[in-house]
Amino acid sequence: MPRQVVVVGAGVIGLSCARLLQQTGYVVTIVARDFPAPFETTDPIAKINYASPWGGAHNRWVPPHPSLPAHLTRDHALSLRTYTHMKRLHTAHPYTAGITFMKGIEYVERPGPEYLALAKDGPDALRLPGSFRLLDSSEFPRDGRVTWGCEYDTWCVNPMVYCSFLLRQFVHRGGKVVTREVRRPEEIFSLDAELLRVSPNEGGGMIAAVVNASGTGLVPDPNMTITRGQTCLVAEDCDATVTRQNADGSWTFCVPRGFDGGTVIGGTKELNNWDVKPSAKVREELLRKFTEMYPKILGGQKQLTVLRDIVGRRPTRNGGPRIEGELVPGAGFVMHAYGLGGRGYELSWGVAEAVVEGVERHVTGGEAKL
Ligand SMILES: Cc1cc2nc3c(=O)[nH]c(=O)nc-3n(C[C@H](O)[C@H](O)[C@H](O)COP(=O)(O)OP(=O)(O)OC[C@H]3O[C@@H](n4cnc5c(N)ncnc54)[C@H](O)[C@@H]3O)c2cc1C
């Protein structure tokens, strides 16, 4: 009999985990408060704690380095695995998955040691799958403040097209979904089989594992907080996803969403800022800085066509995402996969692989800590 797993959460992490568990042979139910819906009708305040609609979402390579937090090495490996899955999905479903491959361009005003090492030793240590090229200074923006740049092959997704695609694949292959709010992941073990739409006698026990893909964790965790992000969606397309790290710590970037989704111009990264309202002044700044840096996006127009402001909360965890198994006394095995911060899409399939591995290890009698 196939084993049954319940995934709490239907953001990009819960959906990726659910799909991969399903492909591995598990019978999977997703229980979540929020599910993917068209971005155009998603309420900015009611859904602010559902991070996935508000992401860009692009993949940027974040080079690990001995001087940086250790989890970045693990995260880089997860991003490489994700790239492979995105390539496969894009090839198999070019018109429906919501994935677009394009150039990623990086400009850095004050490069840290990880970028200087890359300039000196080349990208081989990062094992990047596509092409990678350091930019010549003649290719930098004209303001003279950028001192390091590169371009590489990467992917972007239109978040709600992509997440809806994953959900559709999941349901069409027999996955069950339940809209419900829970207080703790382990609460799932006490819920009715009927509610969870699982059969009590399959696989020896009712539920082999619960995957906690709730974004912010739903368990006491002193390392969890949020990073507010304000961006602006414009109607224009762009030929690349361009990111600039400014010397004052701010970021200027664009993420073309594809699939008629326009382009996200960003963006702020504000730790512990819980303000739900966008600032018109910030929007003006973001648009001005981006068009000065990359005027090509204007295509000869005077200004960009603003569709809407975006404010989102990145589920940020000091020390990096929590991806580990926990045997909760009196309940059962919970595989945590939360705290993805600003990299949920980038790391999603790598996380899903780690989750499947953790569940398998538990089911076959081991423990999981990654
Ligand atoms: C402005 C902005 C730009 C970003 N850009 C990028 C980018 O370019 N690339 C990238 O990779 N990432 C980006 N991110 C980050 C990315 O959006 C997040 O990392 C990702 O969406 C997190 O996904 P998740 O599934 O962990 O959480 P969420 O999307 O928040 O999903 C959590 C799920 O758990 C459910 N849930 C929560 N609590 C409960 C409960 N009590 N009971 C039942 N269900 C519950 C929710 O309903 C939801 O279904 C960006 C984020 C922001 C805000």
Report yes or no on 61 lying in a domain.
no
**Among all chains, which residue has been given the structure tokens 């368990």?**
219
DSSP symbol at 362: H
Distance from residue 193's CA to the centre of ligand 1 (Å): 27
User: 3-class SS at 226?
Assistant: strand
Whether the CB of 267 sits within 6 Å of ligand 1: yes
**pLDDT of amino acid 193:** 79
* pLDDT tens, position by position, 152-209: 999 999 999 999 999 999 999 999 999 999 999 999 999 877 787 776 654 445 799 9
Residue nearest to atom 19 of ligand 1 (CA): 344
Q: Total domain count for the chain?
A: 1
Whether the CB of 315 sits within 6 Å of ligand 1: yes
> Which residues, including other chains, have CB under 8 Å from residue 364's CB and lie 6 or more apart?
none
Report yes or no on 266 lying in a domain.
yes
How many C-beta atoms lie closer than 10 Å to residue 271's C-beta?
Answer: 11
Q: Does residue 353 register a pLDDT over 70?
A: yes
Separation CA 113–CA 248 (nearest Å): 17
In degrees, to the nearest 5, what angle opens at C-alpha 340 toward C-alphas 9 and 306?
Answer: 90
Q: How confident is the model over 298-321, as a mean pLDDT?
A: 97
Residue 342, annotated as binding a ligand:
yes
CATH number of 134's domain = 3.30.9.10
Residue nearest to atom 36 of ligand 1 (CA): 214
* pLDDT tens, position by position, 10-44: 999 999 999 999 999 999 999 999 999 999 999 99
* pLDDT tens, position by position, 144-161: 999 999 999 999 999 999
- The separation between CA 280 and the C-alpha centre of its own chain, rounded to angstroms, equals 26
Residue 7, annotated as binding a ligand:
no
Report yes or no on 150 lying in a domain.
yes
Report yes or no on 276 lying in a domain.
yes
DSSP string computed for 55-97: ---B-------TTS-THHHHHHHHHHHHHHHHHHHHHH-TTTS
Ligand 1 binding pocket mutation candidate from 30, 31, 34, 166 (most atoms within 8 A of CB):
34
Distance from residue 298's CA to the centre of ligand 1 (Å): 30
**pLDDT of amino acid 206:** 79
Report yes or no on 134 lying in a domain.
yes
- Residue 267 domain boundaries: 102-155+225-313
Q: Does residue 241 register a pLDDT over 50?
A: yes
**pLDDT of amino acid 203:** 44
Amino acid at 254: C
Q: Does residue 132 register a pLDDT over 60?
A: yes
Q: Does residue 249 register a pLDDT over 80?
A: yes
Rg over alpha carbons for the chain, rounded to the nearest Å, is: 21
pLDDT band at 261 (very low <50, low <70, confident <90, very high): very high
Report yes or no on 343 lying in a domain.
no
- Specify the ligand 1 atom closest to the Cα of 346: 11
pLDDT band at 86 (very low <50, low <70, confident <90, very high): very high
**pLDDT of amino acid 201:** 53
Whether the CB of 33 sits within 6 Å of ligand 1: yes
Report yes or no on 366 lying in a domain.
no
Q: How confident is the model over 225-240, as a mean pLDDT?
A: 98
**pLDDT of amino acid 285:** 98
Report yes or no on 76 lying in a domain.
no
Mean pLDDT of the chain: 95
- How deeply is 120 buried, as exposed, middle or buried, from its count of CB atoms within 10 A (0-12, 13-18, 19+)? exposed
Residue % of the chain over a pLDDT of 90: 90
DSSP string computed for 123-184: SGGGT-SS-EEEPPGGGS-TTS---EEEEEEEEEE-HHHHHHHHHHHHHHTT-EEEE---SS
Amino acid at 355: V
Q: Which of 249, 246, 253, 263 is nearest to 306 (CA)?
A: 263
